[in-house]
Amino acid sequence: MSTTTKQPNLDLVNPELLQADATDIVRWAHKTFGDGLVLSTSFGMQAAVMLHLVTRVVPDIPVIFIDTGFHFLDTYKFADELTERLKLNLKVYQAKHSGAWTLARHGKLWEKDVEGLNQLDLIHKVEPMNRALEELGATATLAGLRRGQTEHRQNLPPVVLQRDRYKVHPILLWSTKDVHDYLTQHDLPYHPLREQGYTSIGDWHSTLPITAEQHEREGRFGGLKQECGLHLPETKEEDDSRFSSGL
């Protein structure tokens, strides 16, 4: 992994970035981490926001997409559409074995319990993501997490250090309306499954449409948890937050 020459003081940086707009946060991240900066996407419901926002500032930034092998067909079509339209420097990573092989070895992990879901995420999301970050020499990742999405995310600062890499959240303070306004302003699409009542898109086996009364993340993982494998808790505080919210 390449190393960054700058080690930001997060105690000083985070209060300042809480007052900055999303584009300025992306500029700060690019200035701070240079070629070590990457963007991750799942081509989910509102993926076009971060893809457009970031590539306007850093057009050639590596965009990591973890192909779990369980995405909706519409997700792959959506990925192709946005990749072509925004001229993404897309880097696709997959697990070392196919979803069919995982199914043969472990059965339908998504039907078991939270531990089964987490095991599936580790195989098909976490391992390939870690490999991607290592191979691309990433020192920092831009991610489109927002505080209003889950209990744990309500406590997130704009920049966090996880192990030896930074994670930067440019749209952390955005509301659902902010996202919608940005998509409308720039004539960007939602994921096509939005028209069928989906609000948060993951793998086909763990994503359901919701009603108007439900939170946007309640259609994920059969209600057993809200965080995907790429955002599993890494500290006791994160784990406490996960359990307090019933994830």
Task: Tell me whether residue 97 is in a domain.
Answer: yes
- 195-242 per-position pLDDT tens digit: 887 777 888 777 765 434 444 444 444 444 444 455 454 544 443 332
Instruction: Label the pairing between strands 62-67 and 37-41.
Output: parallel
Amino acid, res. 67? D
Task: Tell me whether residue 244 is in a domain.
Answer: no
Q: What is the CA radius of gyration of the chain?
A: 17
Instruction: Give the pLDDT score at 51.
Output: 98
Task: Tell me whether residue 232 is in a domain.
Answer: yes
Instruction: Give the pLDDT score at 43.
Output: 96
Q: How far apart are CA 33 and CA 24, in angstroms?
A: 14
Task: Tell me whether residue 245 is in a domain.
Answer: no
Task: Tell me whether residue 100 is in a domain.
Answer: yes
Q: In the predicted model, what is the mean pLDDT of residues 70-77?
A: 93
Instruction: Give the pLDDT score at 108.
Output: 74
Task: Tell me whether residue 78 is in a domain.
Answer: yes
Instruction: Give the pLDDT score at 20.
Output: 98
Q: How far apart are CA 7 and CA 30, in angstroms?
A: 13
Residues above pLDDT 90, as percent of the chain? 57
Instruction: Give the pLDDT score at 151.
Output: 76
- Residue 72, pLDDT > 60, answer yes
The domain tally of the chain equals 1
Instruction: Give the pLDDT score at 119.
Output: 80
Residue 85: give its domain's CATH number. Answer: 3.40.50.620
**What band does 88 get if pLDDT is binned at 50, 70 and 90?**
very high
- More confident site: 243 or 118: 118
Task: Tell me whether residue 1 is in a domain.
Answer: no
3-state secondary structure of 186: coil
Instruction: Give the pLDDT score at 230.
Output: 53
Closest CA to 2 of 162, 134, 167: 134
- More confident site: 201 or 91: 91
Active-site positions read 228
Amino acid, res. 33? F
Q: How far apart are CA 25 and CA 42, in angstroms?
A: 21
Handedness of CA 5, 64, 46, 86 (dihedral sign): positive
- 29-58 per-position pLDDT tens digit: 999 999 999 999 999 999 999 999 999 999
3-state secondary structure of 170: coil
- Residue 57 belongs to what domain range? 10-239
Task: Tell me whether residue 247 is in a domain.
Answer: no
- 123-132 per-position pLDDT tens digit: 889 999 999 9
Q: What is the pTM of this model?
A: 0.79
φ/ψ region of 233 (left if φ > 0, alpha if ψ in -120 to 50, else beta) reads beta
- Residue 4, pLDDT > 50, answer no
Half-sphere exposure of 19 (CA within 13 A, CB side): 4
- 132-154 per-position pLDDT tens digit: 999 999 999 999 999 887 777 78
Q: Which helix (H) or strand (E) holds 37?
A: strand 37-41
Give one DSSP letter per residue of 93-115, joined into a string: EE-SS-HHHHHHHH--GGGT-HH
Q: How far apart are CA 247 and CA 238, in angstroms?
A: 11
